[in-house]
Structure 1
Amino acid sequence: MTPTVHASEIADINLAEHGEGLCDWSSQSMPIMARLRDRFAEELPFAGKRIAIAVHITTETANLAFTLQAGGAEVFLCASNVRTTNDAVAAHAVQRGIHVYGIQGEDRDTYAAHCNRVLDARPHLVIDDGADLTGLLHGPRADAASEVIAGLEETTSGIQRIRSLEKGGLLKYPVVAVNEARTKHLFDNRYGTGQSTIDAILRLTNTLIAGSRVVVAGYGMCGKGVAARARGMGADVLVTEVDNVRALEAAMDGYRVMTMDRAAALGDIFITVTGNKNVLRAEHFAQMPDGAIVCNSGHFDVEIDVAALRAAALKHSRPRPGVDQYTLTRDQRISLLSAGEVVNLAAAEGNPATLMDMSFSNQVLGCEYLIKHGAEMERRVHTLAGDIDEQVAHLKLQTMGIDIDTLSAEQNDYLNSWDQGSA
């Protein structure tokens, strides 16, 4: 069946020149992607293939699209969140021949329409961030799944959704969980989300982190990064968790661990990074001190019960861009950042290009692997091939000018033996 290719839908093509400068700046911090782009341009591993991408439309994502395009792919890009499109970047990508469907601040209906525009192209590979495209392909857009060889998912939230499909025996094609690659979650999630979340809070509020009590809900890799960056700036960090092992880890990392029911009355800044819904609820808002700042850095905007906060408010104001202040009583105001959307992308620029260089190198090398092997893989969630993870780490060290030791033949033999020990 001949795919339908719609004209791109962006805010303003006249922003392309500004977007070009932004993408060039980002590219300077993505040396692995540059190497891969050069190789792909010679080998054309994606010639004749259509690749759908639903990822935040940032400078780093544009460089991902350009790398796949250099390898011969026709690339279709939409945002994975209504607030995470850089309009200048989108314009530059269109000028470079990428099909782009995304406008900063688009409404939910437009967002859904843009996801469908991408799927109208009948993609061979799907790169997802939150599994919205995957959900459509397994629901109302099952018609567009017939030519999908495989997919890749790079978020914890998205993998949770896809594993639900796998568990029910409903998954239509193999999916690689890029988020589980060590060179993704150990760096992008931890160092990237940690820094960009604090960056967003500072941009929106200009508040002082030092001396503040910061409550971090969730101690996965993203939560660990947020907690570490907040403590590094002088905050007293409180952690809430539902997982016993992670709670124990947080306690041994030196944080105060408690329930949200207790933390609600103590915190000055609340940051959710759990991947779950209604982590902050009406009973928590009621306990928060006057001036509390609340934000979410998880992928979906469900972690904070925003409807309950609005319902409890006597007054609403917007004292600063991106800050909604709700007055609950005469002496209690709570400030919600970026309407509960993913704050590090809605209010800042997301994770630094230096880290996304590794995450997106995993994506493009994963795509290359799936073009070769996807048709023979089981319809389940797969981890990224281990040699790809190692290759990305090796390339990153090379670009940083770092050399490491190698095992001698004797050491290799020792590690692979059963009969060599202390006896």
Structure 2
Amino acid sequence: MTVEHDVRDLSQAPGGRYRIEWAERDMPVLRQIRERFEKERPLEGVRMSACLHITTETANLMRTLQAGGADVVLTASNPLSTQDDVAASLVSHFEIPVYGIKGEDNDTYYDHIKAALDHKPQVTMDDGADLVSELHKNRTELLENVVGGTEETTTGVIRLRAMAKDGALKFPVIAVNDSMTKHLFDNRYGTGQSTIDGIIRATNVLLAGRVVVVGGYGWCSRGIANRARGLGARVIVTEIDPLKALEAVMDGFQVLPMMEAAPIGDVFVSATGDIHVFDRHHFEVMKDGAIVCNSGHFNVEINIPALQELSGQEPRRVRPFVEQYRMPDGRAINLLGEGRLINLAAAEGHPASVMDMSFANQALGAEYMLANGDNLQAQVYTIPEDVDHEIARLKLAAMGVNIDTLTTEQANYLDQWQEGT
């Protein structure tokens, strides 16, 4: 009997399973955790609702949670990020309820989140905090069931910390995004590569010799800037934080205010988590043919209503995932992926080898929350350092990399203060 679901087409399941298995080959840390979970069953009987990008890597996380005994339901965390064949395979081959269709409208997106909440979760797993937000705003009767949650991405952590500051957050959440094995690798290497992949798939442009303007210099933007430079682009970084701006300068990038970069850039990409990084006054001076896209979680970093208003007409769909807005003076500005995450809208998201560590954090974070949630406050927490280090150790071992250990003499030296020069 097929579990409850709302996916595009279950006949796509065989192809989805092949791709899930392909990704698994590059996820050795998560595989080791799944093997332990199968033996120990630390999540036995726990109802979990996950709101994540429905990709091959996420599928392997769901399999791991299921192996640990969890009763898990998955819904999409973005209307354009679902891989329909993967969703079909999770339903057909692994009997996991899935709610997600690539390109679903906003109403369907929230209907799917509501369906995931109907599961009455004891643990939430979020990417962007839409599930937690909906739970706190419209399904408060379910809050008493929740032990705690985990959050995958920068934008979600920002929202959750704002909730905690206002006293609105009603259960503890682990900020998976803030673990070193997540933001140092997933955000930098994963977002860097997958964003460039999405831009190239959507446009087929040659980045070499072009001016790429990167909004922000956080971990995601660092990765984008470095990957664009690696392909021969001239990269301009914009920032509001003097420390990050200084770091970008010292890393060899040109740093300008966005208004000065806007007339120069050929390709614009943001990954800041804030609103209107590319705004009306920027569009007014961008050159003909400018490409604008976003790699932050929500489609608010580009002021699309202002772009529409400036154009005064409906955009043309000139390629899949490319909408062209024609300005009254004849200039064309090309918006990619409806302003949503270009790496998932037009490509496949992060490579499995980096999601291996991110989703290891998710799996171990859920285990930690179940063991410790009753003793935690309704705040945002980071993954314990020993868990972070264990994930790094497992990843190194899977890569065949050995490292040194301290001798007893070295360890003792670090633990005392008496010895000097």
Say whether residues 1:92 and 2:69 are aligned partners: no
- The CA distance in 2 between the partners of 1:105 and 1:421, in whole Å, is 64
Structure 1 unaligned segments of length 5 or more: list them.
none
Which shows bigger deviation, 313-322 or 370-379?
313-322
Aligned twin of 1:72: 69
- The CA distance in 2 between the partners of 1:419 and 1:174, in whole Å, is 41
User: Counterpart of 2:138 in 1: which secondary structure?
Assistant: coil
In the TM superposition, what is the alpha-carbon distance from 1:314 to its structure 2 partner?
Answer: 4.9
Aligned twin of 2:400: 401
TM-score when scaled to structure 2?
Answer: 0.98
Aligned twin of 1:344: 343
User: Counterpart of 2:13 in 1: which secondary structure?
Assistant: helix
**Per-residue CA distance 1:347-391 (angstroms, 9 max, x = gap):** 000000000000000110111111111111111111101111000
User: Counterpart of 2:145 in 1: which secondary structure?
Assistant: coil
- Pairing of 1:29-178 with structure 2 (within 5 A): 29-95=26-92, 96-178=94-176
Q: How many aligned residue pairs are there?
A: 418
- The CA distance in 2 between the partners of 1:48 and 1:333, in whole Å, is 55
User: Counterpart of 2:291 in 1: which secondary structure?
Assistant: strand
- The CA distance in 1 between the partners of 2:305 and 2:312, in whole Å, is 13
Which shows bigger deviation, 328-337 or 375-384?
328-337
User: Counterpart of 1:146 in 2: which secondary structure?
Assistant: helix
Check the 8 A contact 2:29/2:394 in 1, yes or no.
yes
In the TM superposition, what is the alpha-carbon distance from 1:6 to its structure 2 partner?
Answer: 8.2
Check the 8 A contact 2:343/2:349 in 1, yes or no.
yes
Aligned twin of 2:363: 364
In the TM superposition, what is the alpha-carbon distance from 1:329 to its structure 2 partner?
Answer: 3.4
**Per-residue CA distance 1:268-303 (angstroms, 9 max, x = gap):** 000011100011111100100111100000000000
- The CA distance in 1 between the partners of 2:316 and 2:272, in whole Å, is 28
TM-score when scaled to structure 1?
Answer: 0.97
Aligned twin of 1:192: 190
User: Counterpart of 2:275 in 1: which secondary structure?
Assistant: coil
- The CA distance in 2 between the partners of 1:329 and 1:355, in whole Å, is 44
Aligned twin of 2:323: 324
In the TM superposition, what is the alpha-carbon distance from 1:76 to its structure 2 partner?
Answer: 0.5
Structure 2 unaligned segments of length 5 or more: list them.
none
- Pairing of 1:228-247 with structure 2 (within 5 A): 228-247=226-245
- Pairing of 1:250-265 with structure 2 (within 5 A): 250-265=248-263
- The CA distance in 1 between the partners of 2:192 and 2:362, in whole Å, is 22
Matched to 1:56, the amino acid is: H
- The CA distance in 2 between the partners of 1:209 and 1:111, in whole Å, is 34
- The CA distance in 1 between the partners of 2:200 and 2:227, in whole Å, is 12
Check the 8 A contact 2:258/2:282 in 1, yes or no.
yes
Check the 8 A contact 2:215/2:221 in 1, yes or no.
yes
- The CA distance in 1 between the partners of 2:130 and 2:329, in whole Å, is 41
- Pairing of 1:273-352 with structure 2 (within 5 A): 273-315=271-313, 316-352=315-351
Check the 8 A contact 2:74/2:116 in 1, yes or no.
yes
Which shows bigger deviation, 5-14 or 67-76?
5-14
Check the 8 A contact 1:131/1:162 in 2, yes or no.
yes
Aligned twin of 2:4: 7
In the TM superposition, what is the alpha-carbon distance from 1:331 to its structure 2 partner?
Answer: 3.8
Taking only aligned residues, the RMSD between alpha carbons, in angstroms, comes to: 1.1
Say whether residues 1:217 and 2:215 are aligned partners: yes
**Per-residue CA distance 1:310-353 (angstroms, 9 max, x = gap):** 11115532221110011113441111001101100010000000
Matched to 1:353, the amino acid is: A
- The CA distance in 2 between the partners of 1:319 and 1:97, in whole Å, is 39
- The CA distance in 2 between the partners of 1:212 and 1:115, in whole Å, is 40
Change (3 A) 1:167 1:314: closer
User: Counterpart of 2:142 in 1: which secondary structure?
Assistant: helix
